[in-house]
A and B are shown apart, each in its own frame.
Chain A
Amino acid sequence: MVEFALHHAWLVPLLPALAFVAIIFFTRPWPMLSALTAVAGIVGSFIVSALAAYGVFTNPAFKEEPLVYAVRWFSMPGLQIDVGVQLDPVSAMMIFMVSMVASLIFIYAIGYMKDDPGFSVFFSYVSLFAASMLLLAISSNLLEMFVAWELVGLCSYLLIGFYSHKIAAREAAKKAFITCRIADFGLLLGLLAMQIVFGTLNLVELSEKIANFEQYTTFGILTLIAVLVFIGPIGKSGQFPLHVWLPDAMEGPTPVSALIHAATMVVAGVYLVARTMFLFHEVPGAMELVAITGGFTALFAATIAITQREIKRILAYSTVSQIGYMMLALGVGSMTASLFHMWTHAFFKALMFLGAGSVLHALHHKADVWEMGGLIRKMPLTGWTFVIGGLAIAGIPPFAGFWSKDEILAVTLESGHYVLFVMAAFTAFLTAFYMWRLIFLTFFGEENPENHPHESPAVMTLPLVGLAILSTIGGLVGTPWAPYWSEWIFFGHPHHVEPNYWVMIGSVVLAAAGIYLAYQLYYVDKAKSRARALAQRYNHIYTILYNKYYIDEIYLWFNHTIVDGAAKLFYLFDIYVVDGIIVNGLGKLTCLLGEGIRVSNTGRLQNYALVFFLGVLAVVVLLAFTGPSAASLIVGGVK
């Protein structure tokens, strides 16, 4: 079985893809059948992934040599692209994690999307989404990965715009696609440059060639390539300054938000950088760029999150911030810590999104946390699992997030990035604060009499419980005392971070402080008057943060004024200059010439004779004064 799974890992993306095709063409009229098809596809894919992962993680040979098999996709002299599967610990971990979380999300969606008129279509889209993401994870070739990367983008476009009759959803979908497109432009240039310089986009071949890049190119070009490639992840993973699409992506149905923000799409950027670590590793400047982008985004997004009111928006900014952590870890050279955080984050963030969905489901899509309160009494399962998620993201031991965040802080300190370390530590405090602000406002305190919440059905709460368990124990695979994770997931050589107790204690203290502050402001103070007073006193800062530093407005202005203005100029030029003056002008000129010629055709014999005579005269003059060659040119036809 394990051997079969290892050698047929292409089934992992294929099964959900088949489910997509089956739903579109066959089962669409029967919603339940469609849902079952989708679930069967993803669970089948999970089983194959789990077997393959078992095969990989029990055979240390995979640490040295990945299992690769590929077929030719297209070729011509000088350009061959293969598509295939590359199984190694990183990709095995990724497909296992993605298919597991996606399976839970799919099951949850059966309950959440019940009675939606687009039920079947929804399951076809999410199947395609899962297929694309799994393809991205096991690709053996960067172009193949780019294909999957764009398909993930397409699916997110379709899913964010799922309620396409709503203008907000329509605009959010478009924004997501175009923002990612801008980033993909950079990535594509990077890929093209690699293809031209190294003559291949196969991961294994590239890693060998880039290790000896001096034979192919200069350091400057390599730096440029790395920076270009990194632009892609900036867009896809919602890093500053291309993060703007991510919070708007909340317009999609909640399971989609979970799918996009937790296990898939947004971590694709982190995964891509991890996959091309052989490139970034050679270019310290690019690594610094990754680290600074990540560290800054982590803090930047966290500051926005503390003022937001919509439950899913808070989670969205939290995602941006957490992905910043992952980028930071990559940039300071620890792929181990970065992917570890990706792993734990997938569990607790999926848990919280699905929990938020459960709340929205109960409150009929009222999203403002200030209008909630006391929900834990009516919705205990949703509430307590959400609390576990909150403990995990805040970094309270022994929950999953503690181990991974702690490792990121430790490696940042160890690598000597002190400023980034302070920023990351402060972000940890902010994270605990805004997340517990959400929890206290939503689940504790007094109930809002307008709400009539009820616990969600078992098909929704069971995935929550499953994710809560994973959020609790998921980090135990990589504790400093039992570092299984770092023995398998690494770049170059396994790197053990010595348990740094100061960092550990410090991060727990920061987290606890954040939770305590939220407790004081939003739980003890029933009227929330202190929180309001704070917002009043720092009104300017509050307004800027609440409006997300006005970055959306700036982009919108640029798009509508500069780009559209330029477009209009081009168009006016086209109709008034190219067409109006040149083309139609030539047309007019021809007409005038025609008029002129018509006038010259007088019908009088003497006029014609005169012209004839002048012509003969001209020929004679020419013959008389030039050589025979010119003459033969003219009378050549007569000769």
Chain B
Amino acid sequence: MESFPVLLTILLAPVVAAVIMAFIPREEHMLIKCVAAAGTFVSMALSLYVYFAYDQSLGGLQFVQQVPWIKDLGVTFFLGVDGISLPMLLLTNLIGFSAVFASWNVNHRPRDFFILLCLLITGVMGTFVAQDLFIFLLFYEVVVIPIYILVIIWGSTKRVTKEYAGMKLTIYLLIGSAFLLVGVIALFMKTVAATGAPDMSFAGLARAARGLSDFDQIWLFALMLFGFGSLLSMWPFHSWSPDGYAGAPTAVSMIHAGVLKKIGGYGLIRIALYVLPVGAKFWAPVIAVLGVCGVAYAAMAALAQKDLKYIVGYSSVSHMGYVLLAVASLNVIGLNGAVANMFAHGIMAALFFSTIGFIYEKTHTRWIPDLGGLARQTPRLAVAFMLAAMASLGLPGLVSFVPEFTIFVASFKVYGGLAVVAIAGIIITALYALRAGANTLFGPPRPEYDSLKDIRGPELVPLAVLGTVLVVGGLLPFLIFDMVNSGIVPLMAEISGALKLGGSF
């Protein structure tokens, strides 16, 4: 298998599709959509293959591709996956493929739309397979451009204008990355000074950073925490999230809430924590408090919403609070839960946004008081909605329960009462998720929606793909956890070694 560059193929398939689309006449809507679907399908199928072909007993980086690039900076084009990045890669592709079908009815400049969407998917994938910090940042910046254009052209204007939403989304992404960049450059300079040989790979940086003073680790970690944290919609840097999702078109909301913001959590674990464990330990209590604030605050705010997208927007802030709390517990169980919960939330949020997208497309409203009784007229849509809502409130048997349970175990152990506040979030979550479901789907059907057509044909793909993962992942949680665990255990082993050596706390 070493000979065939699987990861590169996964990465380039959507790009190839985008290039092909560029040569298709712009009126050929159906052909364009099929090409986009084919491109993302290749990536999804291959990443499923990689997921199940990955040898967990061996662990470590597999499917590695390494091409030296900028020697002076120690940059190599270094791709590889381990137990932490593989679930994220799979998640990206599951959502990417579904997002194409969730956008099946986009008929305003579809060629441009799908080209940008494919580039966006590649950018996000790249951040998860890159094992070199420079490449990681490169892909991260690639993501920003399509997002901005997609929002301001295909977005929708509700409480805030789509221009405002796109601006806010982009500026937040850029501010985050600016802080990150400062942190990365400083880290790089420090490690070069320490070892003399430039090396931008995660492992190389981590090795070099063991020589840093505690103080350096702490302020470098702070920069990264702000960068990654604002991407993960860490309270109080979260306010881009509800507005941004509300303004964005369906596919962008799916990808953004589903995977893009997970780059923050992924980076926090795979880069910041891995490279700067002493800094992580110093900031852990702060992360925990911000995480819990996010859980409670955003859940309460979600309760007051009347626009469906805002509910899911705030809900995703709330769920990311659990991820932060889990990271802050700094133990194997918590980190397992953090990664698994990012996967679970990604699937759930993407299904939620695709469903809301269809509702909006058909009824032309997302305003809950104008909706009601849709379960009678569009039963399949109702199934998708309720699946997502139930996963959101952590129903056992669906994908998000076990990750939340592990997070609760880990954080209850470490933070006690603080964790109880976060756990209480499950009540508020149930309240807003069920209320949204009840007021949208149930109650007397409204005559004006009698002629609505239920989702069918290609529109069913998001429900089929994401719904299957939702149920299978919930019934067989070891499918996710064995993978994640094979990445977390070696990571923690290295970190705990470093913490004992450098730990002066």
Chain A residues engaging chain B, CB cutoff 8 angstroms: 72-79, 143, 146-147, 150-151, 154, 161, 164-167, 169-171, 173-174, 177-178, 181-182, 184-185, 188-189, 192-193, 195-196, 563-564, 566-568, 570-571, 574, 578-579, 582-583, 587
- Are B427 and A170 in contact (CB-based, < 8 A)? no
Closest to B331 in A: A78
Instruction: Name A578's contact: one of B239, B300, B405, B441 (CB within 8 Å).
Output: B239
Closest 7 CB pairs of A and B: A567-B303, A147-B396, A571-B304, A164-B442, A570-B300, A567-B304, A170-B442
The complex places the Cα of A324 from the Cα of B457 at a distance, in Å, of 52
Nearest-neighbour CB distance to chain B for A229, whole angstroms, equals 15
13 contacts across the A-B interface (CB closer than 8 A): A76-B488, A150-B397, A177-B434, A181-B426, A193-B412, A568-B304, A570-B297, A570-B301, A570-B304, A571-B305, A574-B297, A579-B243, A583-B168
Closest to B489 in A: A77
Closest to A71 in B: B478
Question: B residues within 8 A CB of A563?
Answer: 303, 431
- Are B397 and A151 in contact (CB-based, < 8 A)? yes
- Are B443 and A182 in contact (CB-based, < 8 A)? no
The complex places the Cα of A164 from the Cα of B333 at a distance, in Å, of 40
Question: A residues within 8 A CB of B332?
Answer: 76-78
Nearest-neighbour CB distance to chain B for A536, whole angstroms, equals 38
Q: Does B438 lie at the interface of the complex (its beta carbon under 8 Å from any beta carbon of A)?
A: yes
- Are B301 and A150 in contact (CB-based, < 8 A)? no
Instruction: Name A76's contact: one of B336, B408, B424, B431 (CB within 8 Å).
Output: B336
Instruction: Name A74's contact: one of B373, B444, B478 (CB within 8 Å).
Output: B478
Nearest-neighbour CB distance to chain B for A455, whole angstroms, equals 33
The complex places the Cα of A78 from the Cα of B412 at a distance, in Å, of 14
The complex places the Cα of A72 from the Cα of B302 at a distance, in Å, of 37
- Are B438 and A178 in contact (CB-based, < 8 A)? no
Given known contacts A143-B405, A165-B376, A170-B442, A583 and B239 CB-to-CB distance under 8 angstroms: yes
The complex places the Cα of A460 from the Cα of B375 at a distance, in Å, of 30
Q: Considering residues B395, B442, B477, B481, which has the most beta carbons from chain A within 10 angstroms of its beta carbon? A: B442
- Are A74 and B402 in contact (CB-based, < 8 A)? yes
Closest to B302 in A: A567
Chain B residues engaging chain A, CB cutoff 8 angstroms: 168, 171, 236, 238-240, 243, 297, 300-305, 331-333, 336, 373, 375-376, 390, 393, 395-397, 401-402, 405-406, 408-409, 412-413, 420, 423-424, 426-427, 430-431, 434-435, 438, 441-445, 477-478, 481-482, 485, 488-489
Given known contacts A151-B396, A571-B301, A185 and B438 CB-to-CB distance under 8 angstroms: no
The complex places the Cα of A329 from the Cα of B181 at a distance, in Å, of 66
Nearest-neighbour CB distance to chain A for B61, whole angstroms, equals 20
Question: A residues within 8 A CB of B408?
Answer: 188, 192
The complex places the Cα of A76 from the Cα of B340 at a distance, in Å, of 12
The complex places the Cα of A480 from the Cα of B45 at a distance, in Å, of 67
Given known contacts A150-B396, A164-B375, A167-B443, A564 and B239 CB-to-CB distance under 8 angstroms: no
- Are A167 and B477 in contact (CB-based, < 8 A)? no
Nearest-neighbour CB distance to chain A for B4, whole angstroms, equals 32
- Are A76 and B406 in contact (CB-based, < 8 A)? yes
- Are B426 and A178 in contact (CB-based, < 8 A)? no
Instruction: Name B333's contact: one of A76, A151, A567 (CB within 8 Å).
Output: A76
The complex places the Cα of A579 from the Cα of B243 at a distance, in Å, of 10
- Are A75 and B444 in contact (CB-based, < 8 A)? no
- Are A74 and B477 in contact (CB-based, < 8 A)? yes
Further contacts, 14 of them, CB under 8 A, given A79-B406, A177-B430, A567-B300: A73-B477, A74-B481, A76-B406, A76-B481, A76-B488, A77-B485, A170-B442, A178-B430, A188-B408, A192-B423, A195-B409, A563-B431, A566-B300, A571-B305
The complex places the Cα of A90 from the Cα of B301 at a distance, in Å, of 46
Question: B residues within 8 A CB of A76?
Answer: 332-333, 336, 406, 481, 485, 488-489
Question: A residues within 8 A CB of B236?
Answer: 578, 582
- Are B401 and A147 in contact (CB-based, < 8 A)? yes
- Are B426 and A188 in contact (CB-based, < 8 A)? yes
Nearest-neighbour CB distance to chain B for A307, whole angstroms, equals 30
- Are B426 and A171 in contact (CB-based, < 8 A)? no
- Are B423 and A185 in contact (CB-based, < 8 A)? yes
Closest to B411 in A: A192
Question: B residues within 8 A CB of A567?
Answer: 300-304
Question: B residues within 8 A CB of A75?
Answer: 478, 481, 485
The complex places the Cα of A598 from the Cα of B168 at a distance, in Å, of 23
Nearest-neighbour CB distance to chain A for B432, whole angstroms, equals 8
The complex places the Cα of A150 from the Cα of B236 at a distance, in Å, of 33
Closest to A195 in B: B409
Question: B residues within 8 A CB of A147?
Answer: 396-397, 401
Nearest-neighbour CB distance to chain A for B299, whole angstroms, equals 9
Nearest-neighbour CB distance to chain A for B49, whole angstroms, equals 23
Given known contacts A76-B333, A78-B332, A146 and B396 CB-to-CB distance under 8 angstroms: yes
Question: B residues within 8 A CB of A587?
Answer: 171
Question: A residues within 8 A CB of B302?
Answer: 567
The complex places the Cα of A154 from the Cα of B445 at a distance, in Å, of 23
The complex places the Cα of A391 from the Cα of B160 at a distance, in Å, of 66
The complex places the Cα of A509 from the Cα of B216 at a distance, in Å, of 83
Question: A residues within 8 A CB of B401?
Answer: 147, 150
Nearest-neighbour CB distance to chain B for A139, whole angstroms, equals 12
Q: Considering residues B297, B300, B336, B390, which has the most beta carbons from chain A within 10 angstroms of its beta carbon? A: B300
- Are A188 and B423 in contact (CB-based, < 8 A)? yes
Closest to B235 in A: A578
- Are A150 and B426 in contact (CB-based, < 8 A)? no
Closest to A193 in B: B412
Nearest-neighbour CB distance to chain B for A282, whole angstroms, equals 22
- Are B303 and A564 in contact (CB-based, < 8 A)? yes
The complex places the Cα of A567 from the Cα of B314 at a distance, in Å, of 12
Closest to B310 in A: A571
Given known contacts A76-B481, A77-B489, A185-B424, A161 and B442 CB-to-CB distance under 8 angstroms: yes
Question: A residues within 8 A CB of B423?
Answer: 185, 188-189, 192
Question: A residues within 8 A CB of B434?
Answer: 174, 177-178
The complex places the Cα of A78 from the Cα of B337 at a distance, in Å, of 13
Closest to A150 in B: B396
- Are A167 and B409 in contact (CB-based, < 8 A)? no
Closest to B434 in A: A174
The complex places the Cα of A165 from the Cα of B446 at a distance, in Å, of 10
Instruction: Name A154's contact: one of B304, B395, B406, B481 (CB within 8 Å).
Output: B395
Question: A residues within 8 A CB of B390?
Answer: 154
Closest to A583 in B: B239
Closest to A191 in B: B405
Closest to A582 in B: B236
Instruction: Name A78's contact: one of B333, B431, B435, B481 (CB within 8 Å).
Output: B333
Instruction: Name B435's contact: one of A79, A174, A579 (CB within 8 Å).
Output: A174
The complex places the Cα of A192 from the Cα of B301 at a distance, in Å, of 27
Nearest-neighbour CB distance to chain B for A637, whole angstroms, equals 11
The complex places the Cα of A568 from the Cα of B424 at a distance, in Å, of 19
- Are A189 and B303 in contact (CB-based, < 8 A)? no
Nearest-neighbour CB distance to chain A for B503, whole angstroms, equals 20
Nearest-neighbour CB distance to chain A for B411, whole angstroms, equals 9
The complex places the Cα of A154 from the Cα of B438 at a distance, in Å, of 14
